[in-house]
Structure 1
């Protein structure tokens, strides 16, 4: 009996298993209680999990028949790898596939990632974007000991930091949904990199979220921005795609928010130990949570966040104390049909007054799509 083993955590596009009664594959997660389901696993030196599916022991996996021919039968290619892996139990979802220069990853939305509206939170979506970006770098073999740093970046104590991000959410996924995140990178000027994402429903192909971002390099020791060394450029340039951003840039200038123009403020914010990443850097998703701390509950109750434009100005340390300021445009207390959209301006600053981040968020009425289909609000407002 022939056993086919994949030696890498990441499979090439179009990969299909030769026929056999046993198939080994590498996945990023698993369980030590899979034996009862005909699935055997063991850790690997790379930190992944080698999962062996014995179809003879259990020919029915997650309600789907998987038929493999014996070695004395004619060899017939199995379905594409992505289809095959999606038949595995939910705990083994999250396959990685790279097609040319676009990296794709599936995610299942977990129960602890949803909020009061029974949909994924904006922080969940932002974390999925970051996870896909890091796995992209790891997949192409450029992830070194730094958090997202290439080998040449690590030699020079350089790390990536985001300076600008724009996100547009068409619909939030719900618990149990599986989303497909595509990501790719492009050049941004002489010293920057642009990363784009497209999030879709893996079953229907519906676009859920689009996002674009600009990244530059910072010296890990001096905490100052750095030019991109030529050695680093040669590492990452072959991965660049020459294309326009997935979102048209929001060119509107972000206003300067101050104590005279704010409507809401939240003080006493401070990063904890678990808010730091492997670079001892506050995760950019944490900043999003902070600016939303000062958004009034009345907005959350009647609207949902549909878009963000963020500018990251400086990092903050573990002992920093911050303030979150919000100014609201639009009537959030009137009838839903009278307040189609709400816009907020945000400022995150140190208690000393130094700006950490500023941004703009856009909110649409909950169930706006349903109201628009009934002709209750203009189509462009839905």
Structure 2
């Protein structure tokens, strides 16, 4: 629309009238003309009249589908929740990172616990009626991604737990594309109960254990097989990472996902930009507090093992493995915090 000028002859259905913005008169177009004509002159002061008319018909996406709220499956033995991948959770290729996935798993697990036992003021996950000095602590995390969701995708995450021996429990996750149902990834973790006063393993009383397992699958389910490898790292000299207060979670300790992010900082550039992270396994050895200086070490492993099977069949393609070590050091020596193994597959043109 041209302000203060004669409209082109091909503009139909003119309606007499004048509107004012500042002191520049502008002829109004009829509804029919506004729907069929766009004149976006850079110096026009009357574009508001046409922009409002196009607001509902010319946008690319009129309404974004929303993720479904978290809820228990009918048997109450597993919990499912959907989440949208946000713009600040993706890498330059607009795909979610493994750190995003790990945070998502942690969020869904926490909501599952809140749904079971209710919300508490304490940060540590504990059963109602359990000694407050006895808490659940993650000792191992393994994430395998067959395909990373993109910015704006809605992913569904299902989680459940089961016992693993007399002193440990296992929590698994299944990650799917909410719109297609395609399997995107899976994860598993091992948890033990620790007495925070003694820093030793503690056994849950049988009565509480039975109450806890009422909501576990009747048949032990495993999203991924247990695969744990520990190999000695050569000596390396790398700059340390100082643990910050912002890295602490509601428990007052460094968040498990932060360890994962630190470990990935040591990945060589030629691997990071030419490969995609397929799987990560972490063993948590000790705790870290704000102010500790953490060293990240990384070493290549021999390609002795084939890529694990995915939902579409046996794994294939070029891949490599890295071994990671996080440790905190002071005058008294170094303490191993986390040992991790990452598996990377080569990026193809179709990825």
Structure 2 unpaired stretches of 5+: 1-55, 304-316
Structure 1 Cα separation of the partners of residues 88 and 207 of structure 2: 42
Deviation at residue 223 of structure 1 after TM alignment: 3.9
Structure 1 Cα separation of the partners of residues 132 and 145 of structure 2: 37
Deviation at residue 345 of structure 1 after TM alignment: 0.7
Q: Which protein is bigger by CA-based radius of gyration?
A: 2
Q: Report matched runs for 1:1-382 at 5 Å.
A: 93=67, 95-99=69-73, 100=75, 101-147=77-123, 148-153=125-130, 155-241=131-217, 242-251=219-228, 253-259=229-235, 266-329=238-301, 340-351=318-329, 352-367=333-348, 370=350
The question of whether the paired residues in 2 share the 8 Å contact of 1:107 and 1:179 is answered with: yes
The question of whether the paired residues in 1 share the 8 Å contact of 2:78 and 2:215 is answered with: no
The question of whether the paired residues in 2 share the 8 Å contact of 1:146 and 1:159 is answered with: no
Q: SS at the partner of 1:350?
A: strand
Aligned length: 272
Structure 2 Cα separation of the partners of residues 218 and 94 of structure 1: 35
Q: Structure 1's 311 and 250: CA in aligned 2 closer, same or farther, altered over 3 A? A: same
Structure 1 Cα separation of the partners of residues 249 and 88 of structure 2: 21
Structure 2 Cα separation of the partners of residues 266 and 235 of structure 1: 47
Match of residue 31 from structure 1: none
Structure 2 Cα separation of the partners of residues 145 and 192 of structure 1: 25
Q: SS at the partner of 1:353?
A: strand
Deviation at residue 103 of structure 1 after TM alignment: 0.4
Question: Deviation digits for residues 112-148 of structure 1, max 9, x if unmatched?
Answer: 0001221011110001101110101111235433332
Q: SS at the partner of 1:125?
A: helix
Question: Deviation digits for residues 191-244 of structure 1, max 9, x if unmatched?
Answer: 211000000000111111100110012234444432223353133111122323
The question of whether the paired residues in 1 share the 8 Å contact of 2:234 and 2:299 is answered with: no
Q: Structure 1's 197 and 132: CA in aligned 2 closer, same or farther, altered over 3 A? A: same
Structure 2 Cα separation of the partners of residues 202 and 158 of structure 1: 37
Structure 2 Cα separation of the partners of residues 243 and 304 of structure 1: 31
Task: Single out whichever of 350-359 and 201-210 deviates more from structure 2.
Answer: 350-359
- CA RMSD, Structure 1 to Structure 2 (Å): 2.4
Of structures 1 and 2, the one scoring higher in RCO (CA 8 A, sep 6+) is 2
Structure 1 unpaired stretches of 5+: 1-61, 64-86, 332-338, 372-382
